[in-house]
Chain A
Amino acid sequence: MFKYFEPSKIFSITSKAPKYVLFLFIIILSIGLTEALVLSPEDYKQSHSVRIMYVHVPAAWISLGVFSSMTLLSVIGYIFKIKNFFLISKSLAPSGLVFNIIALVTGSIWGKPTWGTWWAWDARITSMLILSLFFIIYLVAWRIYENNDKIFKVTTIITILGIINVPIIKYSVDWWNTLHQPASINILSKSSIHISMLFPLIIMTAAFALFSLLIFLMKYNTELIKIKNKGLDRL
């Protein structure tokens, strides 16, 4: 089992993976965009601005998922002293931040024609902004403590503090009066998005997940090469 954590062994797999992921990403994205921009119907109330949702919602989901995975990896990595988990977590962060920003920007673009404002300090939007700050703090921490063993403690603490925000983001729309609408998709009950609009949403989520994986693999490979250059054959 521990043999598997040898950087060169991992690298031999992860260095080949990006091209396949990229290929799959392009296929899924083109299906998703065709569905979202051309084939799916307009909304009865907001007409074509509904199409922004196909970017906005998957981006928000992925950024929340990425932060949760980072926390899980950091905490397990910290408890069991697995250095590799920290590298995975570090490599995940950039794509999470990018999708977080995409969610904020597209939400703003959608907000202007529908709500009548670019920005509102409601609980959902503000908590999402706080999440992006946590991503930034996390990435800056890696820059500051680059060659210091403190980094493992520091980043674990940052993710633990940040993870509290994740359920707040999720339930902010139920707990308080917000301008942002409540969730349309619920695992337990019928979703309030019509099936013809749900389909492109799911495809776009898959495409964004693949993009996230692609960026992760590129970042992770860079980390592995760095370790190789230092002459360490074990993490």
Chain B
Amino acid sequence: MYGRKVKLRFFFVSLILITVVLSVFLIIKSLEENVVFFKSPTEIKALSEIDEKKIRIGGMVKKDSISIISKEINFIVTDFKNEINVVYSGVVPNLFSEEKGVVAEGYLKDKNFFLATKILAKHDENYMPPEVKAAIEEN
């Protein structure tokens, strides 16, 4: 149906594509550790040793866990399996609140205690008007 040259070029392009996909896949797989933006409390618990380097942890701010003592903010980050206590002093983003996503950057003191130097609020994929939100909460 098609000429030999056309088939050859088709084969050539497919081969390049497969090769590139595989190599990119392998590279990303091996870099997994660095591709993730933050670690969850469960992943922190699974660490064999505590690194001195700056890391990011993320999860939900546990309900009723935020307490503000003068300039210091204490709260608990949870992934509903494990929890980490976070202490931070500074300005938090507007969207930072209980039962919402958060990413904290800083240093792990031990597996239960995290000293944050920066707080980022994580937004979820839900978008709705306030009235709808209120209606959902009523139900």
Q: Tell me, rounded to whole Å, the shortest Cβ–Cβ distance linking A112 to chain B.
A: 9
Chain B minimum-CB-distance residue to A47: B130
**Given A50-B127, A79-B10, also A116-B93 (CB < 8 A):** yes
Question: Which residues of the other chain, B, contact A182 by a CB distance below 8 angstroms?
Answer: 124-125
- Count, A-B residue pairs, CB within 8 A: 117
Residues of A within 8 A of B (CB): 41-46, 50, 53, 75, 78-80, 113-117, 120-123, 156-157, 160-161, 163-164, 168, 176-179, 181-184, 192-194, 196-197
Q: Is the CB of A46 within 8 A of B123?
A: yes
Assembled-state Cα–Cα distance A43/B9 (Å): 51
Most chain A C-beta atoms within 10 Å of own C-beta, residue among B122, B123, B132: B123
Q: Is the CB of B35 within 8 A of A179?
A: no
Q: List 29 A-B contacts (CB under 8 A).
A: A41-B130, A41-B131, A43-B129, A46-B123, A50-B127, A75-B13, A114-B121, A115-B95, A115-B103, A117-B118, A123-B37, A157-B16, A161-B20, A163-B17, A168-B24, A168-B28, A176-B32, A176-B35, A176-B36, A176-B37, A177-B58, A178-B37, A179-B38, A179-B120, A181-B123, A181-B124, A184-B126, A193-B126, A194-B129
Q: Is the CB of A196 within 8 A of B123?
A: no
Q: Is the CB of B129 within 8 A of A41?
A: yes
Within 8 A of A (CB), among B93-139: 93-96, 100, 103, 118-134
Chain A minimum-CB-distance residue to B19: A160
Q: Is the CB of B94 within 8 A of A114?
A: yes
Chain A minimum-CB-distance residue to B132: A194
Residues of B within 8 A of A (CB): 6, 9-10, 13, 16-17, 20-21, 24, 28, 32, 35-40, 58, 92-96, 100, 103, 118-134
Contacts A116-B92, A176-B32, A176-B35 known; 9 new A-B pairs at CB < 8 A: A43-B130, A78-B13, A79-B9, A114-B93, A157-B16, A177-B37, A179-B103, A182-B125, A197-B128
